[in-house]
């Protein structure tokens, strides 16, 4: 395995985590001994990648194992909290999510389509945008913080309904300009280390960056429980972390740049199965 020549100043997340043997590259993901989830997929047309590989494949055996059983996957503590939030009345309108949406199982498939262009809003919406619009416009409740525990718990509960289904976000039509912006940002070098997302996740996946095994940087497993911070992490929270690691000033979480980047990164994983909520180091 090659080592990535990179400034020693990078504070890569995994530094604090003791490192054990590399995962078996041919391991297969079966959840709860019954749900087989393919962690590889053919690359979409025009992809810069030869083959799509889920981030799960790059984790150690121990971390992989945590995602193979919902009792071991710490994300499910939060999924359970979200089940309570689902039926909890909140805000001036006296409504809960369940008042209008009934069973959360109705959101099966939604994770595979997001982010997507929303006609009414006239822009690309992430799952967080939809949830907060319901809270502020329909419930008369406060918006939830983008990467805070209630929001990430709810995105986990909604996303797990689509577990195993292939990601297929739309990048054409009215989503196209946002997709193009996301693509441009993905290849733009930023920060003191003058690196782009592609420099790590396209040019160097499979290599070690200090103690961490670089993946293709897909978001099919989000929100993801990280052992590093013992909580669920939003997609854009992760982007922020990667930008900080290259000593760049992160874009605003929930802002136009990160939303564009989220759409673009999601589309790079079109065809991969939804693994949410996943476990990472
Ligand atoms: C007063 C009724 C109402 C309440 C309460 C409500 N929603 Fe909604 N929600 C809607 C409507 C209407 C839409 C837009 C139409 C649609 O796509 O179903 C929507 C859309 C959504 C979407 C996008 C669905 C899609 O298929 O595009 C999500 C996700 C969502 N709501 C989550 C929530 C969550 C989580 C809560 C509780 C925090 C909640 N909603 C509370 C009425 C409500
Ligand atoms: C200096 C190298 C580096 C750069 C540049 C970088 N990342 Fe990362 N990124 C990492 C490392 C290391 C990890 C943790 C291991 C892994 O999954 O690759 C990671 C993880 C991720 C993950 C989580 C993958 C998963 O399966 O959980 C996503 C998503 C991601 N990065 C997106 C981005 C985006 C978007 C950019 C550009 C804004 C970016 N990264 C820039 C090093 C980098």
d(CA 234, CA 243): 14
Residue closest via CA to ligand 1's atom 41 equals 97
Length of the chain: 281
Of 239, 231, 242, nearest to 255 by C-alpha is: 239
Structure-token pair, residue 254: 């929930």
Residue 263 domain flag? yes
Q: Which ligand is nearest to the CA of 161?
A: 1
pLDDT value at position 211? 85
Residue 126 domain flag? no
What percent of the chain is modeled with pLDDT above 90?
A: 88
pLDDT value at position 27? 80
Residue closest via CA to ligand 2's atom 38 equals 197
User: How much distance in Å is there from the Cα of 155 to the middle of ligand 1?
Assistant: 13
Q: How many CB atoms lie within 10 A of CB 96?
A: 17
User: Which of the four pLDDT bands, split at 50, 70 and 90, describes residue 25?
Assistant: low
pLDDT at 147 over 50: yes
Give me the number of domains the chain comprises: 1
Residue indicated by tokens 């939604």: 110
Mean pLDDT of 220-228: 97
Q: Which residues pair with 35 in a beta bridge?
A: 31
Residue 197 domain flag? yes
Segment holding 52, helix H or strand E: strand 51-53
Residue 157 domain flag? no
Q: Is-catalytic flag, 242?
A: yes
Mean pLDDT of 147-170: 98
Mean pLDDT of 176-180: 98
Q: Is the CB of 95 under 6 A from ligand 1?
A: yes
Give the tens place of pLDDT for each residue, 206-222: 999 988 999 999 999 99
Give the CA diameter of the chain: 58
Answer for the pair 112, 159: CB distance below 8 angstroms, yes or no.
Answer: no
Residue 43 domain flag? yes
pTM, 2 dp = 0.93
Q: Is the CB of 261 under 6 A from ligand 2?
A: yes
Residue span of the structural domain in which 191 resides: 27-69+164-280
d(CA 56, CA 40): 10
We report the CATH number of the domain holding residue 209 as: 1.10.760.10
Q: Is the CB of 267 under 6 A from ligand 2?
A: no
The DSSP call for residue 86 is: H
d(CA 267, CA 262): 8
pLDDT at 49 over 70: yes
Residue closest via CA to ligand 1's atom 39 equals 97
Top mutation candidate among 201, 232, 276 for ligand 2, by most atoms within 8 Å of CB: 201
pLDDT value at position 9? 33
User: Which of the four pLDDT bands, split at 50, 70 and 90, describes residue 26?
Assistant: confident
Residue 84 domain flag? no
Top mutation candidate among 101, 124, 162 for ligand 1, by most atoms within 8 Å of CB: 101
d(CA 107, CA 157): 10
d(CA 42, CA 68): 23
User: How much distance in Å is there from the Cα of 160 to the middle of ligand 2?
Assistant: 22
Q: Is the CB of 130 under 6 A from ligand 1?
A: yes
Mean pLDDT of 200-208: 96
Mean pLDDT of 112-135: 98
- E-state strands within 107-162: 116-118, 123-125
The four Cα atoms 261, 262, 267, 273 give a dihedral, to 10 degrees, of 150
User: How much distance in Å is there from the Cα of 268 to the middle of ligand 2?
Assistant: 13
Higher pLDDT, 114 or 26: 114
User: How much distance in Å is there from the Cα of 217 to the middle of ligand 2?
Assistant: 5
Residue 217 domain flag? yes
Backbone angles phi, psi at 107, to 5 degrees: -85, 10
Is cis: bond before 74, omega within 30 of 0? Answer: no
Residue 247 domain flag? yes
- Three-state SS for 87? helix
Number of alpha carbons in the 13 Å side-chain half-sphere of residue 102? 3
pLDDT at 7 over 70: no
d(CA 170, CA 114): 8
């Amino acid at each position: 395995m090659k080592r990535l020549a990179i400034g020693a100043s990078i504070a890569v997340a995994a530094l604090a985590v003791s490192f054990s043997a590399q995962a078996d590259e041919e391991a297969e993901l079966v959840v709860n001994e019954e749900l087989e989830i393919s962690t590889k997929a053919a690359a979409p047309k025009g992809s810069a990648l030869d083959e799509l590989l889920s981030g799960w494949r790059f984790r150690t055996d121990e971390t992989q194992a945590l995602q193979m059983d919902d009792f071991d996957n710490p994300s499910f503590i939060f999924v359970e909290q979200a089940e309570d939030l689902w039926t909890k009345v909140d805000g001036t309108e006296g409504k809960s999510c369940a008042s209008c949406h009934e069973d959360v199982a109705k959101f099966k498939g939604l994770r595979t389509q997001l982010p997507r262009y929303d006609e009414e809003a006239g822009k690309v919406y992430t799952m967080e945008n939809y949830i907060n619009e319901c809270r502020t416009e329909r419930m008369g409740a406060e918006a939830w913080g983008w990467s805070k525990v209630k929001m990430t718990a709810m995105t986990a509960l909604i996303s797990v309904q689509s577990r195993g289904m292939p990601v297929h976000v739309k990048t054409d039509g009215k989503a196209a300009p946002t997709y193009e912006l996301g693509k441009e940002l993905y290849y733009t070098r930023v920060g003191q280390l003058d690196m782009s997302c592609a420099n790590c996740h396209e040019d160097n996946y499979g290599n070690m960056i200090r103690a961490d095994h670089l993946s293709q940087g897909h978001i099919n497993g989000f929100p993801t429980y990280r052992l590093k911070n013992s909580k669920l992490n939003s997609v854009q929270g992760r982007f922020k972390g990667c930008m900080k690691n290259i000593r760049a000033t992160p874009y605003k979480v929930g802002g136009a740049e990160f939303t564009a980047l989220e759409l673009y990164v999601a589309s790079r994983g079109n065809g991969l199965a939804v693994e949410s909520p996943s476990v990472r180091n």
